[in-house]
Structure 1
């Protein structure tokens, strides 16, 4: 549905255009009509139409003055005028079309077709942008881990914790699996980034996998699968600050 507003100081011109729209453009809904451009300004800013049919020569304020007063301009503009000498200025205002009065039905249909195509293009652009954002976020969550003779692609949220083993790192997953990463723990810490914390010189834990912090019989974490991970004294304060927000 294309939501439209008509602004014209001649009541008969509004009546005729509205009749043409209702007869030939079934997916266009006229939200309101105005003979006073000052009143139209408030309505356009509030109603945020998809399209505005605008006359140029009006007594209190001409159409171009009205356009320059608007706060909301994210609509397709169709100029309706009895004169053709405003065309260049109209297209400088990014008018979608310029219809001479009395408005011809074929010209009106063609103008609405342009608006329909422009609206579809904007919807498609928004959908593609959203899709690219999803792909980007998915790419940020997934991690390429070089293992012995292979590269493992994993979701960060599948990793519970990591344990240093000299020049290698053991990676433990929520599903109970384990893989050996062929780099030091510090390199994996840099790859994982936010959401993981170096709780011990030899351990890196996923923060939202932590179920409990135990402060007796040695300091350690209990993860969501029941695994205990030691916490060094030097990391305790910073860790608790992160967990407590």
Structure 2
């Protein structure tokens, strides 16, 4: 049976999350609830859960303090936040689930289902370590990519380009490797906006560091370091040429 721990300094929030688990996931055992990071750490050390649901900001310690103190245990994490932009960015780079308050019941259920599936992969410890590293850095150097049956951690500047495929995305990397990610290209664009990536076309997100040349004829296209040719959409051409000019200074 899967064991779950709920952590939140607000009793109403703890009770609400507990009621959702009881109603929709009767086979999950709730091993306890905690009102502080310190209380949660004590519970985890004595009875490690399979899934941790935790608030981030709490008096006397945060959800990140819980992770740092119990990192040796391999459990899934779902964070709940009232939107800490810096923390959310760290979650997205690290493929860690988070829920925004007020919690949407359907999204909550989906997060639990994903946690159960990810639990089978037994690779949570690397993602938690990666999350903590990202949270402490102003700018992440790596990104965790969910490719279905595993999580790949990739150096961001090794990525040449992203190519949309409906709700999924192909990722082309320097070493010739190609990944198929379970995420829309627009989500990658949002989290890589500060890493010299540019949406040249609705189907293409490119790394400006990997451009070999820009051919202005035939409507305009970009030749990447892997010799792929990427069309620049008409409405983005002016913005691209300006970015290229600034980038090459």
Bin of the TM-score, shorter chain as denominator length: 0.3 to 0.5
Larger gyration radius, structure 1 or structure 2: 1
TM-score (norm 1): 0.46
